[in-house]
Homo-oligomer: A and B are copies of this chain.
Amino acid sequence: MSTIKVLVWNEGVHERTQSEIAEIYPDGIHGAIASGLAELLGSAVTVQTAVLSDPEHGLSADVLEQTDVLLWWGHIAHDEVSDEVVERVRQRVLGGMGLLVLHSGHFSKIFTRLLGTTCSLAWRNDGERELVWTAAGRHPIAEGVDHPIIIDKQEMYGEPFDIPTPDDVVFISSFSGGEVFRSGVTFTRGRGRIFYFSPGDQEYPVYFHPQVRRVLANGVRWAAEPALAAPNAMPTVSNPERGWFEKQPHRS
């Protein structure tokens, strides 16, 4: 199997501007995620990172051409991501690049643009225990994952989560306060696979949690499949003449 080329993108603002968050994530949220993927997937992946302040946000056409799976973390700077870059990423996803959208990335331009809905939800930051239950144990993303994952302190995300009907609801979370949330959901758009996973917040060390790392590693492997199977290719319009297929050589 080919090596999966992974790019972890993070807006990287909290870590620069809030010392208490820099203490939790000394290498940035992207650094924590990247180290988890490298640790769990080893030689099956190469992992790069990029942040908002990089030229073109670190998401040039060249970089995207070298990316099989993109992970996206953003929160307070969604609006600062350029529309041009978002459209570039969108086209790449439709062409087969995998996309993992994390936590507050539910409100990112790329996620709402690909899904079309508001992606709004209920939230409360009160350090509650989150239990992440597997609803689709057969899904590759759930492989080897605790049922439930116990996260001692987390921001609460609650229903209603305004997303289109997912292909699969892999995980459902409950919180100490009683709320529930579809915390792990998958979508297919064009040739691309998308996985949204909500656990993970700048104020809690969630991306060091072994089980959260396991989920992200599984997600990367699952989302990489189209990119490994065929070159990136956006769906396009065609205008064939009648009977065109009778003139084609048949492949065997």
Chain A residues within CB distance 8 Å of chain B? 90, 94, 96, 113-118, 120-124, 126, 128-129, 131, 133-138, 140, 143-144, 146-148, 150, 158-162, 164-165, 167-169, 172-174, 176-180, 182, 187-192, 210-211, 214, 225-226, 229-230, 234-243, 245-246, 248, 250-252
Contacts and interface: CB of A to CB of B under 8 A. Distances in A.
A241 B158 CA distance: 12
A150 B245 contact: yes
Given A124-B242, A159-B134, A118 B236 contact: yes
A180 B172 contact: yes
B123 A239 contact: yes
A115 to B, nearest CB: 6
Contacts of A243: 177-178
Given A138-B226, A164-B189, A234-B118, A250 B179 contact: no
